[in-house]
A and B are shown apart, each in its own frame.
Chain A
Amino acid sequence: LAKTTQPISMDSYEGQEVNITCSHNNIATNDYITWYQQFPSQGPRFIIQGYKTKVTNEVASLFIPADRKSSTLSLPRVSLSDTAVYYCLVGEKAAGNKLTFGGGTRVLVKP
């Protein structure tokens, strides 16, 4: 199992960039790295996914070094509405469709 480790919480201020790093030392060759966002009282929502190097979409960027043992989710210019829990997941293709969610990182954006 490719276990992930990420900080429990992070505080930030509106307009700042937030970077959350996730460690996944045992990532397998076929595994992708996916990040989900969960607001209070809602289900997780997909943010971004990548395999290597850098991926960017309208919400975030994902940086993955060559060894793929970690990844960094970057949220540019956060707003109060970005306050949420962010989960880093590694796809376990060999285990079927199972995704393993860790504890996530609670990001609090302050005014």
Chain B
Amino acid sequence: DTAVSQTPKYLVTQMGNDKSIKCEQNLGHDTMYWYKQDSKKFLKIMFSYNNKELIINETVPNRFSPKSPDKAHLNLHINSLELGDSAVYFCASNSGTSQETQYFGPGTRLLVL
């Protein structure tokens, strides 16, 4: 039973395309996150949702739009993909406080050509 799952695992696409990454957690957590890990392995938070409500929105281009249909799902839609968007995107979840362990998904490796 996968706690936090992401699809797809790999995504190769052309510049200018629009793509979505899906995330689901079966842990009953209230809070979900999207992180971006670049080629230097720095992991940066992008968004956080608590019970379908956006609570953290870092300085991310508005081409990135998260959507949470319910508290078990947090999808990431990216418009007009650029070369610099190539990275590994991780979804995570926890119970909702910063001291609580975050559970990460396996990551989606996005390559923009």
Contact = CB atoms under 8 A, between A and B. Distances in A.
Q: Do A and B come from one complex?
A: yes
Interface of A: 31-32, 34, 41-46, 49, 85, 87, 91-93, 95-104
A100 B102 CA distance: 12
Given A44-B90, A45-B104, A97 B41 contact: no
Contacts of B56: 95-98
Contact of A49 (B31, B40, B101): B101
Interface residues of B, number: 29
Contacts, number: 70
Secondary structure call for the A interface:
loop
B107 A42 contact: yes
A49 B97 CA distance: 14
Contacts of B58: 98
A91 B99 contact: yes
Interface centre among A85, A96, A100, A102 (most CB of B within 10 A): A96
